Amino acid sequence: MNKIIGSDNQVRYGVWDSPIDFNHKDFRLLDFFGKEIKGLRKRFSFHTFNYLGLLMEDSILGIATVSLGYAYNVFAYLYKFDEGKVYEFDTKGPDIGHALKFPANPDEYEIRFKKGGSFLEIRKSHSDGTLVLDGDFGGKLRVFGEFPYSMETHHPLRVLNPSEPTRWTFTEKCSPLVPQRLSVRYEGRELVRDPNKVTLVYDWSGGYLRRETNWYWAAFSSVLPNKTKIGANFAALVNESFFSENAFWINSKRQRVDRCIFDFSQEDPYKAWRLWDEAGRLRLEFRPEGERKEKTNLLLAKLYFRQFVGKFSGTFRPDQGKEVSFKNVWGFTEFHRSLW
């Protein structure tokens, strides 16, 4: 198994389609002038995220775990297409391994969170080919799901990039995952009618991100009426200098995309967004219909993000195979600004 950090502290950047040894602790983090950063400063510079977006027939469930070294955040929200956001769970605390346990291994891990009566477990194993989600949020929202997922069957996009000259980020994106078993209950009522029409967007990221980190992001997935499974992940402003984080999937076959242009109004982001690339592999329109947002303004950390849910329409044009067109597929976009 290949290590991502070499013995000479050289980061092995690239697209990783095989298992890795995520030996991030072997990395010597350096400051602006090349002096090594150790102890708590190094710990607080390492961040990990896991986001799962569950797209159902009449609702969307977003779930995230965030470990910043000094603080954690776990949130979930339920958005119903006909009612808007009906429930949100959001909790934060010191990241000392009590409430949230987040092992840094993108291939094999078991994330565990528990606070009061709420809990969340995310178990993922590429070697076993499984992703398991089990959680209860505030006694109102209960979810359990099992998803087949492996590198051989789903071809996720896994890239390791420089964040800046002395920092790096690894990310794994994949879409769609289709459940083997799934139950989502809100206030005792089952929301899943047909698991075969439910899809999951997956995102795991970790590394030594920039002190000031910004991104645009878009992701969606669906089983089209003709049974074609599609999914996508696009990003801009972050980790683009070497290997892009952009791809779409048609029936689990991955098509990488060099760059994605996000064309939207910062002043009125509820106007239609356009997403496209220079090579013509994708032409998309996104119409936001709701959002989850957060603003944090502290002495040493700042955060501002707006995550929108809405409908994508457009076309995928892969290098091989037929063009795929679709309309009104639900998904996510986001702009994110942070100083951490």
∠ CA 296-298-303, nearest 5°, is: 35
Q: Domain residue spans in the chain?
A: 35-339
What would the DSSP string read from start to end of 7-68? TTS-B--EE--S-EE--GGG---B-TTSPBP-HHHHHHHEEEEEEEEEE-SSEEEEEEEEE-
> Residue 5 carries which DSSP code?
B
Pairing of strands 141-148, 273-276: unpaired
> Residue 259 carries which DSSP code?
-
Distances (CA, A) of 248 to 218, 234, 245, 324: 11, 8, 10, 11
- Which element (helix H / strand E) includes 221? strand 212-223
What is the sign, positive or negative, of the torsion defined by CA atoms of 206, 220, 310, 280?
Answer: positive
Nearest-angstrom CA–CA distance, 14 and 26 = 18
Average pLDDT taken over every residue of the chain: 95
Task: Quick: pLDDT tens for 154-188.
Answer: 999 999 999 989 999 999 999 999 999 999 999 99
What is the sign, positive or negative, of the torsion defined by CA atoms of 148, 229, 156, 70?
Answer: negative
pLDDT at 135 over 90: yes
The answer to whether the CB of 61 falls within 8 A of the CB of 80 is no
Query: What are φ and ψ of residue 339, in 5° steps?
Result: -130, 110
Q: What is the pTM of this model?
A: 0.95
Q: How confident is the model at residue 2 (pLDDT cuts 50, 70, 90)?
A: very high
Side by side, the strands of the sheet bearing 273-276 are 253-257, 246-250, 229-236, 212-223, 324-339, 302-316, 282-297, 273-276, 261-263
Task: Quick: pLDDT tens for 39-84.
Answer: 999 999 999 999 999 999 999 999 999 999 999 999 999 999 999 9
pLDDT at 152 over 90: yes
Task: Quick: pLDDT tens for 69-128.
Answer: 999 999 999 999 999 999 999 999 999 999 999 999 999 999 999 999 999 999 999 999
pLDDT at 294: 84
**Among 67, 63, 62, CA closest to 92:** 67
Residue with token string 């209960």: 142
Task: Quick: pLDDT tens for 3-47.
Answer: 999 999 999 999 999 999 999 999 999 999 999 999 999 999 999
The answer to whether the CB of 17 falls within 8 A of the CB of 151 is yes
∠ CA 73-195-154, nearest 5°, is: 70
pLDDT at 196: 92
Task: Quick: pLDDT tens for 266-276.
Answer: 999 999 999 99
- Which element (helix H / strand E) includes 270? none
pLDDT at 240 over 80: no
Residue with token string 């496209």: 276
**Among 49, 25, 161, CA closest to 109:** 49
Nearest-angstrom CA–CA distance, 12 and 22 = 11
